[in-house]
Structure 1
Amino acid sequence: MTTSLPQSSGRPVVTDGGLETDLIYHHGVDLPYFAAFPLLDDERGRELLLRYYNEYVDIARRAGAGLQLETPTYKANPDWGDRLGYTTGDLRRVNRDAVVLLQRLRDRAGVETLLISGNLGPRGDGYVAGDTVDPDEAAAYHAPQIEAFADAGADLVTALTLTGTGEAVGIVRAARAAGLPVAVSFTVEVDGRLPDGTSLAAAVTTVDAEGRPDYFMVNCAHPTHIAPGLTGGGDWRTRIVGLRANASVLSHAELDAADELDEGDPVQLARAQDALRPHLPSLALIGGCCGTDARHVAAMWGVAPAG
Structure 2
Amino acid sequence: MAYYRHQLPQLSDSIFITDGGLETVMLFQQGWDLPDFAAFTLMDRPLGTEALHNYFNTYGTLAKTYGMGLVLESPTWRASADWGSRQGYDAARLADVNRRAIALLQLTQTTYDSPHTPIVISGCIGPRGDGYSPNDLMDAETAEQYHQAQINAFQNTAADLVSAITMTYPEEAIGITRAASKVQMPVVISFTVETDGKLPNGTSLKEAIRIVDTATDSAPAYYMINCAHPIHFDRAILNQGPWVERIRGIRANASMMSHAELDEAETLDDGNPQDLGERFYLLRRQLPHLNVLGGCCGTDHRHIEAICKTCSPVLAE
User: TM (normalized to structure 1)?
Assistant: 0.95
Question: Quick one: which amino acid aligns to residue 123 of structure 1?
Answer: R
Match of 1:221 in 2: 228
* Among candidates 231, 234, 238, match of residue 245 of structure 2: 238
Corresponding residue pairs, total = 303
* Among candidates 179, 186, 193, match of residue 184 of structure 2: 179
Mapping 1:86-125, distance limit 5 Å: 86-112=89-115, 113-125=118-130
* Among candidates 52, 56, 71, match of residue 53 of structure 1: 56
How big is the alpha-carbon RMSD for the aligned residues of Structure 1 and Structure 2? Answer: 1.6
Give the CA deviation at 1:133: 2.3
* Among candidates 76, 79, 84, match of residue 79 of structure 2: 76
Match of 2:15 in 1: 12
Give the CA deviation at 1:233: 3.0
How big is each residue's C-alpha offset from its partner over 1:145-168, in whole Å with a ceiling of 9 and x where there is no partner? 011111223100001000000000
User: TM (normalized to structure 2)?
Assistant: 0.92
Give the CA deviation at 1:231: 4.4
Match of 1:196 in 2: 201
Secondary structure at the aligned position of 1:10 is classed as: coil
Give the CA deviation at 1:43: 4.4
Contact 2:113 2:119 in 1 (8 A): no
- Structure 2 residue 154 is the aligned partner of structure 1 residue 140: no
Q: 2:114 and 2:74 mapped to 1: Cα distance?
A: 17
Secondary structure at the aligned position of 1:90 is classed as: helix
Match of 2:211 in 1: 206
- Structure 2 residue 293 is the aligned partner of structure 1 residue 291: no
Q: 2:79 and 2:119 mapped to 1: Cα distance?
A: 22
How big is each residue's C-alpha offset from its partner over 1:185-242, in whole Å with a ceiling of 9 and x where there is no partner? 0000001000011111111111111122000000000000011321453211001011
Match of 1:30 in 2: 33
In structure 2, runs of 5+ residues without a counterpart are 311-317
- Structure 2 residue 66 is the aligned partner of structure 1 residue 63: yes
Question: Quick one: which amino acid aligns to residue 104 of structure 1?
Answer: L
Q: 1:126 and 1:174 mapped to 2: Cα distance?
A: 20
In structure 1, runs of 5+ residues without a counterpart are none
Q: Closer, same or farther in 2 for the Cα pair 1:110/1:184, shift >3 Å?
A: closer
